Amino acid sequence: MSFKNTKAIILAAGCGKRMKSELPKVLHKIFDVELLKYVYNAVNNLVDISYIIVGHQASVVEDYCKANLNNIKCLLQFPQKGTGDAVKKAYNELKDFEGNVIVLYGDAPLIQESTLKEFVEYHNQNQSIVTVMTAKVDNPKGYGRIIRDDNNSLIKIVEEKDTNEQEKIINEVNGGVYCLDWQKIKYAFNEIDCNNAQNEYYLTDIITWALKNSLKVSGYKIEDETQILGVNSKKDLANVSKILKDKVIDNLLSEGVTIYDKNTTWISPFTQIEPDTIILPNVYINGKNKIGRNCKIGPFSHIRGNVELEDNVKIGNFVELKNAKVKSNTNICHLSYIGDSEIGKDVNIGAGTITANYNSITKEKNKTIIKNKASIGSNSVLVAPVCIGENAMIGANTTVTKDVEQNNLYITRTKEKVIKDYVKVKKENMEGIK
């Protein structure tokens, strides 16, 4: 549900030097999804359009946005003169706009749509001109500090590098998310200055400007401080990734999924798992997937995305699945790779089975279809495109290169050969040479 007359500005122009990477910071990924897309997903349903402010490697970020995001327009900030200057880049686009503008950072992927919805509702209910999201944190280092008066009213935000000793110990911090009544606050962006340690135009200075002009400012304090965490280094990326996957696992546990080891299990937030399914240690589930009831996954299994498992499916040790639909009561045994496949009900896939789905010359991927009650022997290779008929059987150590009709046995083994006393004779001949 979108709010009437609400737009977003997502700040994605920063260099991200501490990432020590050629890739723009906002395009680094968690579970193969870019940081910027997490932020976009959180705000997109609430707004008419998102303006994405690009700067460092602007063409790379803009190309990504155009290819992957809807209802957006990229605006260039060059040179980068601070967050206040970045928001000002949307000034002309919003010249006649009357409504709210949500401002967010593109490197804070844990923010939730539900939180933003409550945030904007709070802003509207309080009839504020500026509302800033705040949180209390154990270690405020690096954050702008929220300064309140004796009445607990927010009076200003002081950036880390501009804090004095008393302000440094304040642990209520700026969450970097704003809701602005645009028509009343837009003039601030022509009047704030860059008289600070960074010689930049701070977005936080609109708080002082608003109060000076007798406009209402509010602070919306969130309980879950992790939602405001930004990513400025690879260490931050690892930390935020772990927080995200722990939240996913906690939610699944509360919904009846059995997960034995939180520390070694990674499950993407885009995966649905039904109750009474068991996830064993060292399982990595990436991408968007749907897993039914009473399944058993792992240990050491890797589900790479676009996988659907119906009820009572068993995935063994060291199994890899990608782009596969597996119907109920099917077993896929250890050390197997199943990709670009449709697997029927009551199928047994023996250990070491591979669906050879990729043609390295044509760069094409082809599909393997295995119908109900088929049995695939261990160490078999199914060379796609291929279809294994209902109740058919593939002998162990077989390479299948053509369709197998129902009820047939398909086997491609060379006839066994025994050379009597081969080893003994070989050793005797070696000794004779000496």
pLDDT surpasses 80 at 9:
yes
pLDDT surpasses 90 at 70:
yes
Q: Is the model more confident about 2 or about 345?
A: 345
Q: What is the mean pLDDT of residues 166-180?
A: 96
pLDDT surpasses 60 at 62:
yes
**pLDDT attached to residue 434:** 58
pLDDT surpasses 70 at 260:
yes
pLDDT bucket at 426, cuts 50 / 70 / 90: confident
Show the tokens assigned to 228: 């405001």
pLDDT surpasses 60 at 315:
yes
Q: What is the mean pLDDT of residues 183-191?
A: 96
Q: What is the mean pLDDT of residues 135-142?
A: 92
Active site residue 302: no
- pLDDT tens digits, 11-20: 999 988 999 9
Label residue 352 left, alpha or beta by phi (over 0 means left) and psi (-120 to 50 means alpha): left
Q: What is the mean pLDDT of residues 134-159?
A: 92
Nearest to 89 by CA among 178, 156, 186, 15: 186
Number of neighbours of residue 158 by Cβ within 10 angstroms: 19
**pLDDT attached to residue 1:** 47
- For residues 277 and 296, the answer to whether their CB atoms sit within 8 Å is yes
Instruction: Give me the catalytic one of 28, 123, 302, 334.
Output: 334
- pLDDT tens digits, 364-411: 999 999 999 999 999 999 999 999 999 999 999 999 999 999 999 999
- pLDDT tens digits, 35-54: 999 999 999 999 999 999 99
Q: What is the mean pLDDT of residues 256-267?
A: 98
Q: Reading across the β-sheet that carries 314-315, which strands appear in turn?
A: 258-259, 278-279, 296-297, 314-315, 331-332, 348-349, 375-376, 393-394, 409-410
DSSP calls for 188-222 = GGGT----STT-S--TTHHHHHHHHTT--EEEEE-
Residue showing tokens 């199928």: 347
Helix (H) or strand (E) holding 414: none
For each of the domains in the chain, give its residue range(s) and CATH number, in order of start: 6-228 (3.90.550.10), 255-315 (2.160.10.10), 319-434 (2.160.10.10)
pLDDT surpasses 90 at 413:
no
Cα–Cα distance measured from residue 275 to residue 298, given in angstroms and rounded to the nearest whole number: 17
pTM for the model stands at 0.92
- For residues 43 and 10, the answer to whether their CB atoms sit within 8 Å is yes
Nearest to 6 by CA among 98, 125, 88: 98
pLDDT bucket at 106, cuts 50 / 70 / 90: very high
Residue showing tokens 């608003």: 210
DSSP calls for 142-193 = TSPEEEE-TTS-EEEEE-GGG--HHHHT--EEEEEEEEEEHHHHGGGGGT--
